[in-house]
Chains A and B, each alone.
Chain A
Amino acid sequence: GESVGLHLPTLSVQEGDNSIINCAYSNSASDYFIWYKQESGKGPQFIIDIRSNMDKRQGQRVTVLLNKTVKHLSLQIAATQPGDSAVYFCAEKANNNDMRFGAGTRLTVKP
Chain B
Amino acid sequence: GAVVSQHPSWVICKSGTSVKIECRSLDFQATTMFWYRQFPKQSLMLMATSNEGSKATYEQGVEKDKFLINHASLTLSTLTVTSAHPEDSSFYICSALWVTSTDTQYFGPGTRLTVL
Q: How far is A51 from B105 in the complex, measured between Cα atoms in Å?
A: 15
Q: Say whether A1 contacts B46, CB under 8 Å.
A: yes
Across the two chains, which residue of chain A brings its CB closest to B46?
A: A2
Across the two chains, which residue of chain A brings its CB closest to B62?
A: A2
For chain B, the count of residues having a C-beta within 8 Å of the partner chain is 27
The smallest beta-carbon distance between A43 and chain B, in angstroms, is 4
The smallest beta-carbon distance between B116 and chain A, in angstroms, is 20
Q: Say whether A3 contacts B32, CB under 8 Å.
A: no
- Which A residues fall within an 8 A CB radius of B? 1-8, 32, 34, 36, 41-46, 49, 51, 89, 91, 93, 97, 99, 101-104, 106
Q: List 14 A-B contacts (CB under 8 A).
A: A2-B59, A3-B45, A5-B43, A5-B45, A34-B104, A41-B112, A43-B4, A43-B109, A44-B107, A46-B106, A46-B107, A51-B102, A99-B105, A103-B43
Considering the complex of A and B, which 4 residue pairs feature the smallest CB-CB distances, nearest first?
A: A43-B107, A2-B46, A5-B42, A3-B43
